[in-house]
């Protein structure tokens, strides 16, 4: 149940941050961030949804995304690029700082998604070792 709530919140935040990145494109270009990095950051925030879907929904065709490394590898591009852009935009000025915060929020959303997935895996392993049938 908690996985579904997390999935809904992640979908909302991913789309919200993706649209916010679109509104700051001009600022990113002014400070030397290539548009391709911004597009990759936007797409990677949507990859967070795919990684969480692979762990929470009980569909058999999503078993491709269930192995632990695959789900976490989908989080890495957004975390790495979000950190780089955030560090570049940390100039103390109001316009670049707002754009840098959005990139930083994408990075932190990826980290939070990874922690949420790891927590789900740990809880599942604990309950499965106890012999309980605990659905995640």
Q: What is the pLDDT of residue 69?
A: 61
d(CA 73, CA 13): 20
Q: Which residue has the higher pLDDT, 41 or 121?
A: 41
d(CA 26, CA 57): 38
d(CA 120, CA 2): 9
- Domain locations in the chain? 2-124
Q: What is the pLDDT of residue 73?
A: 83
Tell me how crowded residue 58 is: count the other CB atoms within 10 A of its CB. 8
d(CA 75, CA 83): 13
* Three-state secondary structure call for residue 130: coil
Q: What is the pLDDT of residue 10?
A: 87
Segment 73-98 shows an average pLDDT of: 84
Q: What is the pLDDT of residue 62?
A: 46
| Of the listed ranges 43-52, 85-94, 105-114, the one predicted with least confidence | 85-94
d(CA 103, CA 79): 9
What is the tens place of the pLDDT at every residue in 21-74? 888 888 888 888 898 999 999 999 888 888 877 776 655 444 555 555 667 888
d(CA 129, CA 109): 30
Whether this prediction's pTM lies above 0.95 is answered by no
- On average, the pLDDT of the chain sits at 81
Q: What is the pLDDT of residue 48?
A: 87
Q: What is the pLDDT of residue 116?
A: 85
Q: What is the pLDDT of residue 130?
A: 76
């Amino acid at each position: 149940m908690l996985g579904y709530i997390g999935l809904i919140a992640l979908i909302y935040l991913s789309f919200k941050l993706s649209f916010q990145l679109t509104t700051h494109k001009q600022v990113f270009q002014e400070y030397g961030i290539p548009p391709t990095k911004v597009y990759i950051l936007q797409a990677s925030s949507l990859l967070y949804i795919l990684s969480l879907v692979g762990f929470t929904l009980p569909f058999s065709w999503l078993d491709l995304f269930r192995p632990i490394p695959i789900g976490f590898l989908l989080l890495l591009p957004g975390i790495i690029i979000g950190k780089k852009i955030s560090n570049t935009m940390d100039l103390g000025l109001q316009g670049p700082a707002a754009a840098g915060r959005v990139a930083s929020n994408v990075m932190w959303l990826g980290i939070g998604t990874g922690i949420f997935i790891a927590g789900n895996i740990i809880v599942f392993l604990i309950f499965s070792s106890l012999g309980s049938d605990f659905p995640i």
